[in-house]
Amino acid sequence: MAKAAGRSKGRSLRIATWNINSLRLRQGLLRGLVDALEPDVLCLQETKVPDELFPHEAPAALGFGHVAFRGMKGYNGVAILSRIPFARLDDAPDWCGKGDCRHVAVALDLPGGPVELHDFYVPAGGDVPDREANPKYGHKLDFVDEARAWFAARKGLSRAVLVGDLNIAPLENDVWSHKQLLDVVSHTPPETERLTAWLDTGFVDAVRHFVPPDEKLYTWWSYRNRDWRLSDRGRRLDHVWVTPDLQGGLVRHAVLKDARDWTQGSDHVPVCVEMRV
DNA sequence: ATGGTGGATGTTCCA
């Protein structure tokens, strides 16, 4: 992304989010992301690294002097890498009581006042969209319900940003075929209704602020395609939400589609939003 | 209707 013009009020804040699908394996790809997007803050999901094995050198070498992470062996895991100092926030619950490292939050220390930043990795939900047959689907729905309720209880939240791999593509044009995916986990009505209810607790979809809803937009393409670009069976699973007080400061967005072709890349691509805060 | 690929792990689970 090019530098902002710098006319509007406040400091420029650029936040990127990426499901990196193993931080240790792909830490070398962070350089490409930083060169392309120049984020002030980078939120990662599926780091798949226990806290005691977190690779501190990679973020430090890229100029991210502040890190917050919550990881475990083999699965899940989230991290926030930042050039801006922050205070870690620890008031959120252990979602669904499973201790599975799907959320980390900080308050960014900015001249205009703190900005609250939440980094989420919502459960993928398994293959079968049925609570009884597939407990992972039930866990996903319960997770989103619990998150919605928690944010609903925080009425009047301001100067907040929520990002992450939410594993749900809420709009018809967030998937390659709305009709063919209505019964596919990530786009079923119980999921999309719940995600919208969570958004409606007090957020604006910052990427759809820039890209009209009648335009296809994806951030993930399955590994299980011979040619992901040719088949283009994508879904928009990765999101950036902001509270309405920040909407007027939104400057630009980027979906780094080229990252899907990086050598040994993730199946998700980075998403970035710049705003004046 | 099925299988396709990839990561971490360990003789399979998760995505």
**pLDDT of A67-117, one tens digit each?**
999 999 999 999 999 999 999 999 999 999 999 999 999 999 999 999 999
Residues 25-64 of A with CB under 7 A from strand B: 25, 48
On whether the CB atoms of residues A274 and A13 are closer than 8 A, the answer is yes
Distance CA A19, CA A235 (A): 14
On whether the CB atoms of residues A89 and A109 are closer than 8 A, the answer is no
Which nucleotide is closest to the Cα of A76 by its C1'?
B14
Distance CA A181, CA A222 (A): 14
Which nucleotide is closest to the Cα of A237 by its C1'?
B15
Model confidence at A1, pLDDT cuts 50, 70, 90, reads confident
Question: Residue A45: its pLDDT value, please?
Answer: 98
pLDDT digits (tens, 9 = 90+) for A202-231: 999 999 999 999 999 999 999 999 999 999
Residue nearest to nucleotide B6 (CA to C1'): A223
- Enter the pTM of the model: 0.96
User: How much of chain A exceeds pLDDT 90, in percent?
Assistant: 95
Query: What are the structural domain ranges in chain A?
Result: 3-276
CA/C1' separation A8–B15 (Å):
42
Model confidence at A10, pLDDT cuts 50, 70, 90, reads confident
Model confidence at A9, pLDDT cuts 50, 70, 90, reads confident
Q: Is the CB of A126 within 7 Å of strand B?
A: yes
Q: For residue A111, with 0-12 CB atoms within 10 Å meaning exposed, 13-18 middle and 19 or more buried, which class applies?
A: exposed
> Sign (positive/negative) of CA torsion A93, A200, A140, A222?
negative
Which nucleotide is closest to the Cα of A223 by its C1'?
B5
Q: Give the homologous superfamily in CATH for domain A3-276.
A: Endonuclease/exonuclease/phosphatase (3.60.10.10)
On whether the CB atoms of residues A107 and A115 are closer than 8 A, the answer is yes
